[in-house]
């Protein structure tokens, strides 16, 4: 009788743990939606009035398309290719016709993990979005967003963000907060597209001089960036494994807890803001530094001492505006600094973790974290992002499908692709001269 009571109690504890796990990832996913509200405000504010609605609409469409695509093939890719390009045994569990990919009261994990990974993928699409504003065709962007958000990044995730991933087993790769598999991949995918897309009309003068194209609503952009920061607490929370009835671990199996994430994330925010402001004195780069600082510490999120995290983030914050200016001098028009904030900060995150975590042991017989392994991982992530970004955008460009025509860019994309106006009242306000006359 006593044994039955103990067994029943254990079953109840396991059930409560399972429910707690579902609730935890449910709210991580919900908070991640704020990332997309933030990118929406960020990019609409960074655009000129004539393109502001197009910037917002493509963010919403990307979220919708990536969700659907990630269900139909993205989740399958994650389970299929951790070993490289050979399909792993049991990959069919992620196929849309699998019993686990629908309502199943016996499966309390698949749907909620799929949801979190889907929002990670949608984040990569939003990273791409801001870099391309004010000249990319809406249809071209959606194609690129689906390929990146439901294909390219999750292949990188299978390699470097999976307990069976070859990069973990061969390199000891350590990337807890997805600095490489999300941010580096998305940032360098965006760079590949930008090379083929070209700069906005008027960005560069005839002698190569750089002309500022200021946002029409900088306060909206700053609020958007703050929303992204809030959303990143859900994103980073989703990077920890809630083990029912056991300790919390990283995706690689190393023990950790939310306390470690709390220290590192906030110190990353602080260091990034201070570093970017020290270098640029510009509100836009200062607030971008907050995001770049968090990305800078993301790879070692579980291990860094808070003081080390601050230093790494400070250096990352300093690096971001410098990298942004260098890209401009090279003729790259990245409208919101996405390549710098995500791509360059992501690479720095992997390099820094190689410096500070060299020799850190992984669980079991997996190789230790090493500087060489992290550098190799950074190169892999750069190539995984850049090659398809450049190649696919080149095909779209060759077909005349990548960029809006010059006359559309001149009058504004909203006037052609969006059947309404952002600020209709301002169109009928008479000028001061007209009122005086």
CATH number assigned to the domain comprising residue 203: 1.10.3430.10
Confidence of residue 426 (pLDDT cuts 50, 70, 90): low
Output the CA–CA distances (angstroms, integers) from residue 114 to 22, 70, 238, in the order listed: 12, 8, 11
Give the H or E element holding residue 250.
strand 249-250
Predicted confidence band at 157 (pLDDT cuts at 50, 70, 90)? very high
Banded pLDDT at 6 (limits 50, 70, 90): low
d(CA 265, CA 308): 12
pLDDT above 60 for 8: no
| Percent of residues, the chain, with pLDDT higher than 70 | 92
Cβ count within 10 A of residue 384: 22
pLDDT of residue 19: 65
Structure tokens at 181: 């598999």
Q: How confident is the model at residue 437 (pLDDT cuts 50, 70, 90)?
A: very low
Residue 125 located in a structural domain: yes
pLDDT value of residue 243:
74
> For the chain, what is the mean pLDDT?
91
Query: What is the C-alpha separation between 22 and 162, in angstroms, rounded?
Result: 20
Per-residue model confidence (pLDDT) at position 433: 42
Give yes or no for residue 365 having a pLDDT over 50: yes
pTM listed for this prediction: 0.93
Place 237 in a pLDDT band, splitting at 50, 70 and 90.
Answer: very high
Q: Is 430 within a domain?
A: no
- With a CB cutoff of 8 Å and minimum separation 6, the contacts of 363 are 252, 253, 254
Phi-psi region of 77 (alpha: psi -120 to 50; beta: other; left: phi over 0): alpha
Q: Is the model's pLDDT at 46 over the cut of 80?
A: yes
Residue 207 has pLDDT above 60, yes or no: yes
pLDDT of residue 276: 97
Write out pLDDT tens, residues 84-126.
999 998 888 889 999 889 988 778 788 989 999 999 999 999 9
433 domain-assigned:
no
Per-residue pLDDT, 159: 98
The count of structural domains within the chain is 1
Write down the residue that tokens 């995730």 correspond to.
157
Residue 249, H or E segment:
strand 249-250
> What is the C-alpha to C-alpha distance for residues 191 and 195, in angstroms, rounded to an integer?
6
- Residue 432 lies inside a defined structural domain of this protein: no
Q: What's the average model confidence in pLDDT over 21-35?
A: 92
Residue 176 reports pLDDT greater than 60: yes
Q: Any alpha helices (H) in 166-282, and if so which ranges?
A: 166-171, 185-197, 218-237, 258-280
| Mean pLDDT on 237-263 | 88
Q: Is 56 or 425 the better-scoring residue by pLDDT?
A: 56
Are 332 and 390 spatial neighbours (Cβ–Cβ below 8 Å)? no
Determine the average pLDDT of the residues in 131-151: 97
Reported confidence tier of residue 434, pLDDT bands at 50, 70, 90 = very low
* pLDDT at 246 (0 to 100): 67
Determine the structural domain holding residue 104 and report its residue range.
10-420
In a domain, 301, yes or no: yes
What pLDDT is attached to residue 41? 96
Residue 437 lies in a domain: no
With tokens 């809630």, the residue in question is 242
Q: Which of 4-13, 14-23, 67-76, 245-254 has the highest mean pLDDT?
A: 67-76
H-helix or E-strand spanning residue 241: strand 240-241
pLDDT at 316: 98
Predicted local confidence at residue 247, as pLDDT = 82
Residue 9: which pLDDT band, with cuts at 50, 70 and 90? very low
Mean pLDDT of 62-81: 96
By percentage, how much of the chain surpasses pLDDT 90? 82
Cα(437)–Cα(429) distance, integer angstroms: 14
- Give the confidence band of 62 by pLDDT, cuts at 50, 70, 90: very high
Is residue 381 over pLDDT 60? yes
Structural domain contains residue 370: yes
Provide mean pLDDT across the span 241-248.
76
Q: Is residue 209 part of a domain?
A: yes
At 245 the pLDDT is: 64
Q: Confidence class of residue 16 from pLDDT cuts 50, 70 and 90?
A: very low
Above 70 in pLDDT, residue 11? Answer: no
End-to-end CA distance of the chain: 97
Average pLDDT (328-347) is 97
């Amino acid at each position: 009788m006593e044994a039955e009571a103990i067994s029943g109690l254990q079953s109840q504890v396991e059930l409560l743990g399972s429910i707690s796990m579902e609730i935890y990832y449910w709210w991580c996913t919900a908070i991640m939606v704020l990332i997309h509200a933030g990118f929406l405000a960020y990019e609409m504010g960074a655009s000129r009035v004539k393109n502001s609605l197009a910037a917002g609409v493509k963010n919403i469409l990307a979220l919708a398309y990536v969700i659907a695509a990630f269900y139909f093939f993205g989740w399958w890719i994650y389970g299929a290719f951790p070993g490289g390009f050979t399909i792993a045994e049991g990959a069919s569990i992620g196929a849309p016709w699998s019993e686990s990919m629908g309502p199943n009261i016996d499966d309390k994990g698949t749907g909620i993990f799929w949801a979190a990974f889907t929002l990670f993928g949608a984040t990569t699409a939003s990273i791409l979005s801001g870099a391309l504003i004010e000249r990319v065709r809406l249809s071209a962007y959606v194609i690129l967003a689906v390929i990146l958000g439901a294909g390219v990044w999750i292949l990188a995730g299978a390699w470097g963000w999976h307990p069976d991933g070859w990069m973990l087993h061969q390199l000891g790769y350590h990337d807890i907060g997805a600095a490489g598999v999300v941010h580096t991949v998305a940032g360098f995918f965006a760079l590949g597209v930008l090379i083929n897309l070209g700069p906005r009309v008027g960005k560069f003068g005839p002698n190569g001089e750089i002309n500022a194209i200021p946002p029409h609503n900088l306060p909206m952009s700053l609020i958007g960036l703050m929303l992204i920061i809030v959303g990143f607490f859900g994103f980073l929370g989703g990077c920890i494994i809630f083990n029912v009835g056991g300790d919390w671990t990283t995706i690689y199996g190393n023990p950790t807890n939310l306390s470690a994430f709390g220290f590192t994330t906030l110190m990353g925010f602080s260091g990034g803001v201070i570093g970017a402001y020290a270098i640029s004195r510009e509100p836009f780069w200062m607030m971008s530094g907050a995001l770049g600082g968090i990305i800078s510490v993301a790879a070692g999120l579980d291990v860094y001492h808070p003081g080390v995290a601050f230093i790494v983030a400070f250096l990352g914050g300093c690096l971001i505006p410098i990298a942004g200016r260098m890209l401009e001098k090279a003729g790259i028009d990245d409208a919101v600094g996405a390549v710098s904030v995500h791509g360059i900060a992501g690479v720095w995150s992997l390099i820094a973790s190689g410096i500070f975590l060299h020799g850190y042991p992984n669980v079991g017989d997996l190789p230790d974290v090493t500087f060489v392994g992290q550098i190799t991982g950074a190169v892999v992530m750069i190539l995984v992002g850049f090659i398809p970004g450049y190649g696919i955008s080149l095909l779209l460009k060759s077909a005349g499908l990548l960029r809006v025509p010059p006359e559309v860019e001149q009058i504004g994309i909203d006037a052609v692709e969006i059947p309404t106006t952002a600020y209709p009242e301002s169109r009928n306000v008479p000028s001061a001269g007209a009122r005086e006359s």
